[in-house]
Amino acid sequence: MSNFDVPIWEKYTLTIEEASKYFRIGENKLRKLAEENLSSNWVLLNGNRIQIKRKQFEKVIDTLDTI
C-alpha cells in the first residue's frame, strides 16, 4: 500500500467491486440493489458510475435479515 492508498474501511464511498468485497455480496446482486434504489441515501452516481456510501449502506444492512 502506498502513502496515497486509503484502506477500504476508511473510505466514504465504495465502488461496486469494493463494496462487494467489503460486504461479501456478489457484484451482480449489489449492482441490482443499487439500480433498484437509485433515490436512496446510500447510492451516489458519479457520472454513470455507481458509488455506495459505506456507512449509510451499513445501516441498511443492519436492518435486513436477508438480501
pLDDT of residue 65: 87
pLDDT of residue 1: 53
Nearest Cα neighbor of 34 from 43, 23, 25 is: 43
CATH topology of domain 8-63: Molybdopterin biosynthesis moea protein, domain 2 (3.90.105)
**Whether 22 contacts 14, CB under 8 Å:** yes
pLDDT, block means (10 residues), the chain with 67 residues: 80 96 96 95 95 96 90
Domain layout of the chain by residue ranges: 8-63
